[in-house]
Structure 1
Amino acid sequence: MNFSKLSIDEILFQSSIRINNSLGDSKILNAVSPMGYPEAKLNEGKALLTEASTLVENQKKEYGELDAAQETFKVEKQKANETYKNMVAIGRIAFKTDVQATTTLELNGRRASTHSGWLKQTQGFYRALLANESWKAAMANYGQTEEKLTAEIAAIESVAAASENVRKEMGDAQNATQQRDQKVEELADWINDYEVIARIALADKPQLLEKIGIVVKG
């Protein structure tokens, strides 16, 4: 069988049939043992199958964690950005005649489009406000207290942390994929070799070949 054309789940399934049914049938074991595949060798294959199965499940888990991290980042940034846009709108009213505040807080012009630019712009906005007593007082006149501003810069920091977590989880997921692929490839190579030997050892026993998942034509 050409394992290179099979899905990973199918490789695991076919490998399980070949290894476990060989170990579970004395006739098969007696036939393949003299040809380099005694019980100990087949158990090596079984251990390889277990390793591959574990890494397959781990890879799925890592991508699940990545999806969760991306969703957390998306939700937190969306919420923080909505509040930030509202703060900017309020700031444009509160500092309508204050050129210094308008420039420093970047109240006019476009909002940053990149994530790094967004972090720099939002952090700069809140930090500048919190560092200026008169600007804090002006925003407080519109219900935006120091406590609210402090809470919002904390939310921005949380978004930054969520972004870093996405980067970490992505690295973990990619590493898990590499480990999975290497082990599954090793398993497929082991099974391919065993299949060649099994076909020779069981050439006159097609029903036993069928038992370990090897289709006999004719």
Structure 2
Amino acid sequence: MPAPYHSIEDRLNRYLTGLTNARDVPELQSRVALYGYTPDKLNQMLAQRQQAFDLYLAQKTEYSEQHAATAAFEQAWKTAHDTYMRLIRLGRILFRDNHAIFIKLTLNEERKRTFSGWLAQANTFFSNLLSDQNALAKYSQYNTPPDAVNAAKALVVAAEQANIIQAKETGEAQQATKDRDEKTDALDSAMSEFYALAELACEDAPDLLKMLDL
């Protein structure tokens, strides 16, 4: 019985060895050809194996890009959040006796933990602050001019864009996994039949079976 091959990479490498030797070793080829595995048929299976291998590599690339996008998003969110929270904390001090502005700037609210909730609160805060000249003037008295507020808002926008990119990369990685698995499953099925018939064809020639990695 063949040794177990758990990873996709191991299986694909094993398939390449078995199919190539079945095609190129004359004594082995003459035996498996009796069960329909002619050079043309084996070339077709090798092409199928190459397609599976290409999809395997593409999936690895997509997941690498997804991980990079996730890291970029998390950093962008943290940077935006830290800057935004400084404005929130400062505002809670500056407007503690001004109930109307305190509410308008959502200073009374607990910050949302989900990104979508956090983003909605942040956008509300910046929109209301930047439209209130009195509130902006108050912030300016404490080393936070409008330019600083706009810069903080830009960080929120950058976090939102990073989140969009992360979602795109996640979707592409999931699709790449689906494509890889569909192609690999079909190849696994074809190779299972190939190995079973090759064992039958070479049951009296163990040395030939070793060429198939059996």
- Which residue number in structure 1 is paired with residue 138 of structure 2? 138
Give the 3-state SS of the residue equivalent to 1:203 in structure 2. coil
Quote how far apart the aligned CAs of 1:125 are.
0.7
Note if contact 2:19-2:212 (Cα within 8 Å) is conserved in structure 1: yes
Which amino acid in 2 is paired with 1:203? E
Q: TM-score, normalised by structure 1?
A: 0.92
Distance 1:69 1:170 in 2: 9
Deviation track 1:36-81 (CA, whole Å, cap 9, x = no partner) reads 1110100011001101111111111111111111101111111111
Distance 1:80 1:36, change over 3 A: same
Quote how far apart the aligned CAs of 1:5 are.
6.6
- Which residue number in structure 1 is paired with residue 184 of structure 2? 184
Say how many residue pairs are matched: 214
Give the 3-state SS of the residue equivalent to 2:9 in structure 1. helix
RMSD over aligned CA atoms reads 1.7
Quote how far apart the aligned CAs of 1:34 are.
3.2
Quote how far apart the aligned CAs of 1:161 are.
1.4
Quote how far apart the aligned CAs of 1:144 are.
1.1
Q: Does 1:155 align with 2:177?
A: no
Note if contact 2:23-2:38 (Cα within 8 Å) is conserved in structure 1: no
Note if contact 1:3-1:188 (Cα within 8 Å) is conserved in structure 2: no
Distance 1:117 1:6 in 2: 42
- Which residue number in structure 2 is paired with residue 169 of structure 1? 169
Q: Where do 5+ consecutive residues of structure 2 fail to align?
A: none
Which amino acid in 2 is paired with 1:133? Q
Identity of aligned residues (%): 30
Which portions of structure 1, spanning 4 or more consecutive aligned residues, are displaced by more than 6 angstroms? 2-5
Quote how far apart the aligned CAs of 1:19 are.
0.7
Q: TM-score, normalised by structure 2?
A: 0.93
- Which residue number in structure 1 is paired with residue 10 of structure 2? 10
